[in-house]
Chain A
Amino acid sequence: MTTIETRKEERHVTVLSDRCAGCQECVIRCPVNALSMDHGSWTVLADDDLCVGCRQCERTCPFSAIQVGGPMAVTDRLDPPLAHPVTLRGDISETREGYSSWSDVLKEASRCLECPDPTCVRGCPAHNDIPGFIGALRQQDLSGAHEILARTSVLPDVCSRVCNQSAQCEGACTWSLAGTEPVAIGRLERFIADQMMTPAPTVDPSGAARDLSVAIVGAGPAAVGAAWDLVEAGAAVTVFEKDDTVGGLCLWGMPEFTLPSSVAMRAWEQLETAGVEIRRNHAVDADEIEVLLREHDAVIAAHGAGVSVRLPVPGMDLEGVVDATLFLKGAKEALEPMGSAASFLHSLGLTDTRAQRVLVLGAGNTAMDVARMARRLGLDATCVDWLDERFALARPDELAEARHEGVDVLFQRTVVKVEGSGRVHEATLAHTTQASATHTPKVVPTASDTLRVDLVVMAMGYRVDASFASVLPGLPVRKVYSAMASRQWVASGVLANPASSYAHHSPVGHLALAREVGLNAAAMPVAPRLWVVGDALTGPSTVVEAMAQGRRAARAIMDAQPNSPSRSTQSRELQPRRILVCFESEGGSTADAAQRIGAQLREYGARVDVMALEKVGPMDLAHADAIVVGTWVEGLVVAKVHPAKATRQWLDALPWLGGRPVGVFCTYGVDPRGALAEMRKVLEAKGAQVGVERALGRRDLKNASSNFAQQFAESMMQTVLR
Chain B
Amino acid sequence: MGIAVSDLAVARGGIKVLEGVCFALEPGQALVLRGPNGIGKTTLLRTVAGLQPPVSGRVEMAVDNHVYAGHADGLKATLSVEENLSFWAHVFGNKDVSDALSAFQLTSLADRPAGALSAGQKRRLGLARLLVTGRPLWLLDEPTVSLDSDAVAMFAEVIRAHLSRGGAALMATHIDLGIKEASTLDLAPFRAKAPEPDDFDGVFL
* Same complex: no
List residues of A whose CB falls within 8 A of some B CB.
none
